[in-house]
Structure 1
Amino acid sequence: MRLTVPFRPMTWRSVCAIAAPLLLAPAAIAPLHAQTAPADQHAALSPGAKSDNAKPDAAQPAATTAAPASSTDQRSAAAAALDKVKQAAKSAGDIFRRVPCLQPKGVANTTGSLPHVAAKLADGRPVVIIAFGSSSTQGYGSSAPEFTYPNRLAAQLRRHYPSADITVLNRGIGGEDAPEMMKRLQTEVIDVHPDLVIWQVGTNAVLRNLDPKETGKQVEDGVARIQAAGADVVLVDPQYSPRVTERPESARGMVKLLSRIAALRHVGIFPRFEVMRDWHEQQAIPINDFVISDGLHMNDWGYACFAQLLGDDIIHSVGQIKLGVNVPSDVRAYRPM
């Protein structure tokens, strides 16, 4: 059987360089708002990315000897540029259709019920989702801000709930784990009054050899505070990548710890470690096709598939209780991105 594996990063980056302006422009008027770190901050983190500050100053006045362009010429040039970008975006879509993001076999949906999100959607009220975490939430390794997992998730939820007013806030800061996140939990999460908090935690605890018992206490306390504030919670465990798996005992221990906390507090957990392991071990996808060269962070395809699987779990979980309608299990037949 021939296996389809993700596209190579260089091919995708070349498409993104053309398609990104279209993705960044008109989407802001949609009812869904996805917020991430500023572009210049993202550029500092992402290899090969460029800040707007490095671009030539297009606002400088033209030389007095230059003849002004007519309005007809300007409209023609704008139309040609838009057509070119639309074609590039179509090509990017073709890539996604050729490379499916498959549901890992044997990895159960453990997102649980999301009553606060479901109630808001059923009543037509705005929904606020906070992606809380470290560098893989912030988006290190993605080629542009719109390819981080929170923005990918936001786009998917917009497609599924086109009339809903959903805001996705990115509260990821690279290098942090539970000790640092707990210091900003109140101001950056609880005070925003979210309906759902997706908390990615534990990877840096493994890499920094933090005390797992102390990490467990902090995460459990944080989950309890989020619940008391009236929000649903989904934990996200560490990624399956070389920098993490080179510490197998610590990695397995963190995965079990977060799973235990989720069961104890009756919240959801997205098993990212097992999902990514399935990509490699069961779907025979090379590690380098979803992890960047640092051996830790995901690339655009990795973030996109992670976001899609998480989004489908959220949609399924909301559908189970929204308006009392049960969603059939086959709704989670994962679509190509």
Structure 2
Amino acid sequence: MSSFRPFCLTIWLAVSAAALLLTPASLRPARAQAAQTTPAQQTTAAAPSQPSSADQRGIAARAIDKVKQAAKSAGDIFSRVPCLPPKGGSRKMGSLPHVASRLVAGQPVVIVAFGSSSTAGFGASSPDFNYPNRLAAQLRRQYPTADISVINAGVGGEDAPEMMKRLQAAVIDRHPDLVIWQVGTNAVLRNLDPADTIKLVEDGVARIQAAGSDIVLVDPQYSPRVNERRESASKMITMLGKVAELRRVGIFPRFEVMRDWHEKQAIPVETFVIEDGLHMNDWGYACFAQLLGDDIIRSVGQIKLGVNVPADVRTYRPM
């Protein structure tokens, strides 16, 4: 019979817990690893007790606190200049059946953000502030019980010809539920024929649809360098809209949204575009992601689908 008595065990655990609290955080992982039991000890150890209802309420409260903090952090950037949708409204994105069905079934949702430098996040002060990461944070706040990942597959300088070469590996092979494809800006800047770009986009959309993914196209940005080629940009935007209509996929009218910021909301261009006259800054990416996320949430039909979102979490939207 073992001589290790319960009273001694209690004292030993108490001392160990106090030592852990007094140990610097940087040393805790190493000590925790050293304290792990062997497989034989693990088989004879008592099963851990289940958390009490009070503990569970504490866990839920901490989770809600994290959601509140994330919302506050996202909203800080809009404290001086609010992020508002176009006053006249924009075209509807349409439904996103694959994303919706995954949310209803409680299955992981994978989103691939496909595009060039404004997808990669050139101009953002930190990777945390590019639009895919901002979008991921918003969707996780909205659906806190869902497993949502947004993969950034943006490569600066590319347009449809280069993107099509990596479409299979960068997008389709990841089996996404939603692909957000930002395309057309570099073709405009290179003065390429919009019709050639559109042919490639149509082929790409067909391949993505055949793989079973929802799609949202994102047209060029409103910025000084794009506006220098307004005629080409206008053709590209119109033709991308037609592709979306014919293929019955969503489109986020980025040019229209950003033009509204400047021309109707009187926001200076330098508020959302960096000094190169092309790429967005932190505010531009944040507002773009916010409005895109709002459209995705509306398209999924959150309330009708009955996705589990606590009421007190919804209150903490960043706008």
Task: Name the TM-score class by shorter chain.
Answer: 0.7 to 0.9
1:261 CA drift (Å): 0.5
1:107 CA drift (Å): 3.1
Identical amino acids, percent of aligned pairs: 77
> 1:153 maps to which residue?
135
> 1:172 maps to which residue?
154
Aligned length: 248
DSSP 3-state at the match of 1:171: strand
Cα distance between partner residues in 1 of 2:77 and 2:222: 24
Find out whether 1:303 has 2:285 as its counterpart: yes
Q: 1:123 aligns with which of 105, 112, 123?
A: 105
Cα distance between partner residues in 2 of 1:172 and 1:319: 28
The answer as to whether partners of 1:115 and 1:321 remain within 8 angstroms in 2 is: no
> 1:260 maps to which residue?
242
Q: Tell which deviates more after alignment, 110-119 or 131-140.
A: 110-119
DSSP 3-state at the match of 1:218: helix
TM-score by length of 2: 0.73
> 1:199 maps to which residue?
181
Judged with a 3 Å threshold, the aligned counterparts in structure 2 of structure 1 residues 91 and 227 are, in CA distance, closer, same or farther, namely closer
The answer as to whether partners of 2:77 and 2:283 remain within 8 angstroms in 1 is: no
Find out whether 1:133 has 2:115 as its counterpart: yes
**Superposition CA RMSD, Å:** 2.4
TM-score by length of 1: 0.69
Judged with a 3 Å threshold, the aligned counterparts in structure 2 of structure 1 residues 186 and 94 are, in CA distance, closer, same or farther, namely closer
> 1:186 maps to which residue?
168
> 1:280 maps to which residue?
262
Letter in 1 for 2:122: Y
Cα distance between partner residues in 2 of 1:167 and 1:91: 19
Cα distance between partner residues in 1 of 2:126 and 2:206: 34
The answer as to whether partners of 1:205 and 1:212 remain within 8 angstroms in 2 is: yes
Larger Rg computed on CA atoms: 2
Uncovered stretches (5+) of structure 2, i.e. residues with no partner: 1-20, 26-68, 308-316
Cα distance between partner residues in 1 of 2:154 and 2:134: 15
> 1:238 maps to which residue?
220
Find out whether 1:212 has 2:175 as its counterpart: no
After superposition, give the CA deviation of every residue in 1:241-287 in whole Å (9 maximum; x if it has no partner).
00000111001011001001000100010000000000000000000
> 1:317 maps to which residue?
299
Letter in 1 for 2:104: A
1:219 CA drift (Å): 0.1
Cα distance between partner residues in 2 of 1:201 and 1:210: 13
Cα distance between partner residues in 1 of 2:141 and 2:168: 31
Letter in 2 for 1:128: V
